[in-house]
Amino acid sequence: MIEPLATTLTFAALAAAVWALALIALNRPVDLCRPDSRALLGLLTLIELGLLVQAAAGIVNLFTAEREFEHLTFGAYLIGLPFVLPVATAWAMAERTRWGPGVLVIGAVAVPVMTLRLSQVWAGAA
């Protein structure tokens, strides 16, 4: 687990959640024709790339670590975490009402929660 990357991903995901909340407040759906939506999707893409790097590093650590931690739980969080944002983004793009960004809020908040749990399992506090 790369702790500085996990911290960066946490803050970036929370920023994306606040951004999506602003879209809800402005009554705007996620629309690729709008520059604010494209910028939000760009931020989500960067977060996803970071999650994939974290997953790759975590898989290496999963098989090379010589310490006690819940391997199955760690692997499940590690594999599941990169799927959260793409599913939330696809759902938000399909939902053409103002609540499409609401799905992004939930997905973006799930990233820090799952990252925190991943860190706890890695530390051996399963």
CB 29 within 8 A of CB 96: yes
- Residue 23 sits at the vertex; the CA angle it makes with 10 and 35, to the nearest 5 degrees, is 90
pLDDT digits (tens, 9 = 90+) for 28-71: 899 889 999 999 999 999 999 999 999 999 999 888 888 888 88
Q: Which helix (H) or strand (E) holds 120?
A: helix 100-122
Query: What is the C-alpha to C-alpha distance for residues 20 and 13, in angstroms, rounded to an integer?
Result: 10
pLDDT digits (tens, 9 = 90+) for 84-117: 999 999 999 998 887 899 999 999 999 999 999 9
Residue 4: pLDDT over 70? yes
pTM of this prediction? 0.92
